[in-house]
């Protein structure tokens, strides 16, 4: 008997024991608990309020206490939100369930003939890698494995040629200020070196843009401004 069926039977037993309501397990509405609330399964109480002659809150508290006390350790707790009884399944139940599933291919679905591509983690080529990138790798790998287990033909990919405007900025800053600097000559890791030149470009661009911004704010003509040091900004 599944955990959901056990909970439905418990609920029917509680209704009979507490209020003399002869409800079948099939009459108990059971849903997965919404993620914003504590619990694993939720029983909808409204349909039994009139017969039990209790408010939804009182019905939930009484039924929840009875079910937990008579669940043989299946339920570790409960809470009531308006007309909904949220039930917490004990951890040892899930551990026992997993321990009993010894099949090597438990849950595996047959090949569906469908293909899917999972792209990860495609780090920014212009910035140093950090610990957070491991998280993206683990998530991408896990998603790919889950899809594969569910019958999909999975193609894993990683974008390694991410040459957008950010890498162009680093390249231009290196041409202007790098003086042939390399990771070997500077003793700086390659990704850090590229990131340093990205910052240099941004700082230089802001410094050159400042007079133009100030002139525009003051309503002054920009033709009288001193031309920028480099030809890359502003455009002619």
Which of the four pLDDT bands, split at 50, 70 and 90, describes residue 126?
low
Q: What is the pLDDT of residues 26-83, one digit of tens each?
A: 999 999 999 999 999 999 999 999 999 999 999 999 999 999 999 999 999 999 999 9
Cα distance between residue 89 and residue 79, in whole Å: 12
Q: Across 84-93, 104-113, 153-162, which has the greatest mean pLDDT?
A: 84-93
Which of the four pLDDT bands, split at 50, 70 and 90, describes residue 228?
low
Q: What is the DSSP string of 156-208?
A: EE------SHHHHHHHHHHHHH-TT--HHHHT--HHHHHHHHHHHHHHHHHHH
The residue extents of the domains of the chain are 3-93, 104-157, 165-224
What is the predicted pLDDT for the residue at 218? Answer: 83
What is the predicted pLDDT for the residue at 155? Answer: 96
Contacts of 220 (CB under 8 A, 6+ apart): none
What is the token pair recorded at 196? 């340093």
Q: Quick one: fold of 3-93? A: Gyrase A; domain 2 (3.30.1360)
pLDDT, mean of residues 144-159: 95
Cα distance between residue 44 and residue 145, in whole Å: 35
What is the predicted pLDDT for the residue at 235? Answer: 44
Q: Is the whole model's pTM more than 0.75, yes or no?
A: no
Cα distance between residue 128 and residue 189, in whole Å: 9
What is the predicted pLDDT for the residue at 234? Answer: 42
List the Cα angle 142/2/66 in 5-degree steps: 115
| 153 φ/ψ angles, rounded to the nearest 5 degrees | -85, 115
Average pLDDT, the chain: 89
Q: What percent of the chain shows pLDDT beyond 90?
A: 63
Q: Look-up: residue for tokens 């809150």?
A: 57
Q: Report the SS3 class of residue 10.
A: helix
Cα distance between residue 219 and residue 114, in whole Å: 61
What is the predicted pLDDT for the residue at 161? Answer: 65
- The answer, yes or no, to whether residue 11 has pLDDT greater than 60, is yes
Cα distance between residue 117 and residue 152, in whole Å: 10
Least confident among 45-49, 197-201, 215-219: 215-219
- Return the sign of the alpha-carbon dihedral for residues 31, 34, 35, 36: negative
């Amino acid at each position: 008997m599944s955990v959901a069926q056990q909970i439905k039977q418990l609920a029917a037993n509680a209704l009979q024991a507490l209020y003399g309501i002869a409800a079948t397990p099939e009459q108990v509405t059971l849903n997965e608990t919404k993620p914003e609330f504590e619990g694993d399964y939720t029983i909808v109480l409204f349909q039994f309020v009139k017969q039990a002659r209790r408010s939804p809150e009182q019905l939930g508290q009484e039924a929840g206490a009875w079910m937990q006390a008579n669940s043989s350790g299946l339920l570790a707790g409960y809470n009531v939100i308006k007309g909904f009884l949220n039930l917490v399944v004990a951890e040892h139940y899930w551990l026992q369930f997993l321990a009993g599933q010894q099949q090597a291919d438990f849950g595996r679905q047959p090949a569906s003939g469908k293909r899917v591509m999972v792209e990860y983690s495609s780090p920014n080529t212009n910035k140093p890698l950090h610990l957070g990138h491991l998280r993206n790798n683990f998530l991408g790998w896990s998603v790919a494995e889950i899809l594969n287990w569910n019958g999909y033909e999975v193609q894993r990919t990683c974008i390694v040629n991410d040459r957008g405007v950010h890498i162009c900025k680093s390249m231009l800053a290196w041409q202007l200020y790098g003086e042939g600097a390399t990771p070997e000559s500077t003793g700086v890791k390659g990704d850090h070196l590229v990131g340093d030149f990205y910052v240099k470009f941004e700082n230089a661009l802001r410094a050159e843009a400042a007079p133009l911004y100030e002139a525009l704010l003051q309503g002054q003509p920009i033709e009288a401004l001193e031309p920028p040091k480099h030809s890359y900004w502003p455009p002619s």
